[in-house]
Amino acid sequence: MKSISEYLEDDKNKWAHRPYISTKENGVWRTRTFREVIDDIQGLSKSLLARGLEQKNIMICSENSYEWILLYFGIMGYVGTCVPVDKEWTAWDLQNTLSAVSVSAIFYSRSRGERFRSVMEQTPDISWFCIEDVLTDLIREGKASGTPLYGKVQTEQTAMILFTSGTTNVPKAIPLTQHNLFANWETLYRRTPMTEQDISYVFLPFHHVYTGVANILYTLVSGMQLFLCSDLQRMLPELTEVRPTVVCTVPLFLYRMYDAMNDALLDMLQNIRFLYCGGSFTDPAVKEYFIKQGICLLEAYGTTETSSVIALARPGDPDLAANGVVLENLTVRILTPDENGVGEIVVSGESVSEGYLNRNDRYSEFDKDGYHTGDLGILSPDGHLYLKGRKKRMILTANGKNIYVEELEALLLQHPQIKTAAVFEENHHPAAAVTAGLSEEEMRKYLAQVNSRLPRYKQIRKFYLKPDIPGGRIK
């Protein structure tokens, strides 16, 4: 198995003048070739190494951008371990994460700077870099350097650390090696052969393993061209303009396309060779509509712990009830199935992480059998996987975000006058029922304090208050 740096060197020669990454600048697409992109990656990597960051953990917290991709490939390919985090994270999330994993440098976008000011002041040992202010100079400096650059070719070393939560005092840190990240490629290629003739339009957050691996990392192997969404408000017009052949989406955006359907949008969607949809459950009626329109919609199921995909629909598969067919390079079994065949989904294989850093999580765990996902499902003899819910309490939003309700309940219960707290899903967002010796106004103010520590998607939108007195009623 080749390493990231080996793929970059090969691509620089093989596809030197082929278009690679296009970004919209002042309303016009600017396209960089493979050689231009890889020269930028290698120049940036030299500058990071010159600053003593070899074998260090380096965090990225930023909106999607060309610069994000340079950091992603440069850190993993030549420098150290990449730690991408959600741009929506608050200072509270970031502080908790830094307590779990040692980080030497953080690259952040200017829009995040004020949010993280307090953390910067508390972490003088961390080097903070504003992407807009320094990246161009770092690339230029590295390109001017005569220092030789050596790639990280040990594919069993940790290349990336991802987090599925940053809210509590014990965030879940998932180490993934280059071997983990590339392990699914051959199986994925056999099922959906992406090539250098393909064009992908990317709008999902880069820090998600789904986007980072399928949409970005695997372009090193396929040679696929990338167009980066300039603004989510411009997504549909840009899709019709770019006419991609490969797209990764989540149900939330699929539903938006369904609601906005017209002849031009339908024509664009029918041009897509592989429209992957993962991150959350897809409404079967919507899935059926897209497929009947001649759109190659392929539902995918995966987790961060398994380097993304576990199961993926086969093109043309008539079984629309399934949530995918297990990849041939993975072993999936159903633990202690009930009379209907429903049990916990357990996965093993080369793409599966070795386990959480410094902990074994209460929601899901790793053991000799593999990774216990915490998801319930049925597995057919031919590999079709049917998801049936969660073993533990979790809200899975339409855009693929995981919200563990116990985390939010623990935050609410920090108030001494809140006796009980139950968080649940209401209209695709968290809501809470609490028993407390508080007035509604006091509860509203406290909830605002709690929400200020949470990224927007985790914020509790509504509460139901039951006074802490005998016979109190939920309001």
pLDDT per residue over 183-237, tens digit each? 999 999 999 999 999 999 999 999 999 999 999 999 999 999 999 999 999 999 9
Residue 470: pLDDT band by 50, 70, 90 thresholds?
Answer: very low
User: Residue range 449-462: average pLDDT?
Assistant: 90
Residue 174 backbone class (left: φ over 0; alpha: ψ -120 to 50; beta: rest): beta
pLDDT in tens, 329-357: 999 999 999 888 999 999 999 999 999 98
> Is residue 136 predicted with pLDDT exceeding 70?
yes
DSSP string, 32-84: EEHHHHHHHHHHHHHHHHHTT-TT-EEEEE--S-HHHHHHHHHIIIIISEEEE
**Token couple for 56:** 């260090």
Q: Quick check: is 440 in a domain?
A: yes
Tell me how far apart the alpha carbons of residues 85 and 93 are, in angstroms, rounded to a whole number.
Answer: 10
Residues ≥6 apart with Cβ < 8 Å to 316: none
pLDDT for 100 equals 82
Hey, CA dihedral for 416, 418, 422, 423, is it positive or negative? negative
Instruction: Tell which of 149, 165, 182 closes a domain.
Output: 182
pLDDT for 88 equals 86
> Is residue 314 predicted with pLDDT exceeding 50?
yes
Tell me how far apart the alpha carbons of residues 216 and 218 are, in angstroms, rounded to a whole number.
Answer: 6
> Is residue 35 predicted with pLDDT exceeding 50?
yes
pLDDT for 403 equals 80
CATH number at residue 115: 3.40.50.980
Hey, CA dihedral for 337, 343, 347, 348, is it positive or negative? negative
Q: Quick check: is 383 in a domain?
A: no
Instruction: Tell which of 157, 182, 207 closes a domain.
Output: 182
Burial of 414 from C-beta contacts in 10 A (0-12 / 13-18 / 19+): exposed
User: What's the total number of domains in the chain?
Assistant: 2
Distance in angstroms between the alpha carbons of the first and the last residue of the chain: 59
Q: Quick check: is 79 in a domain?
A: yes
DSSP β-ladder status, 105-108 and 127-130 = parallel
Q: Which of 210, 302, 285 is closest to 247 using CA atoms?
A: 210
Tell me how far apart the alpha carbons of residues 76 and 206 are, in angstroms, rounded to a whole number.
Answer: 15
Residues ≥6 apart with Cβ < 8 Å to 382: 325
Instruction: List the single range of 52-66, 182-196, 398-412 with lowest mean pLDDT.
Output: 398-412
Mean pLDDT of the residues in the chain: 91
Tell me how far apart the alpha carbons of residues 389 and 54 are, in angstroms, rounded to a whole number.
Answer: 42
With a pLDDT cut of 90, the percent of the chain lying above it is 73
User: Residue range 173-191: average pLDDT?
Assistant: 97
CATH number at residue 423: 3.30.300.30
**What single letter denotes the amino acid at residue 142?**
G
pLDDT for 14 equals 97
Instruction: Tell which of 182, 202, 231 closes a domain.
Output: 182
Q: What is the pTM of this model?
A: 0.84
Q: Quick check: is 442 in a domain?
A: yes
pLDDT in tens, 271-297: 999 999 998 778 888 999 999 999 999
Q: Quick check: is 241 in a domain?
A: no
Q: Quick check: is 362 in a domain?
A: no
Tell me how far apart the alpha carbons of residues 3 and 156 are, in angstroms, rounded to a whole number.
Answer: 10
Q: Quick check: is 225 in a domain?
A: no
pLDDT in tens, 238-276: 999 999 999 999 998 999 999 999 999 999 999 999 999
> Is residue 361 predicted with pLDDT exceeding 80?
no
The answer to whether 222 and 214 have CB atoms below 8 angstroms apart is no
CA distances (Å), origin 457, targets 374, 394, 398: 21, 13, 11
- Domain residues for the domain of 133 are 4-182
SS3 444: helix
pLDDT for 398 equals 66
The answer to whether 170 and 359 have CB atoms below 8 angstroms apart is yes
> Is residue 321 predicted with pLDDT exceeding 50?
yes
pLDDT for 168 equals 47
Q: Quick check: is 121 in a domain?
A: yes
Q: Which of 368, 361, 358, 428 is closest to 395 using CA atoms?
A: 428
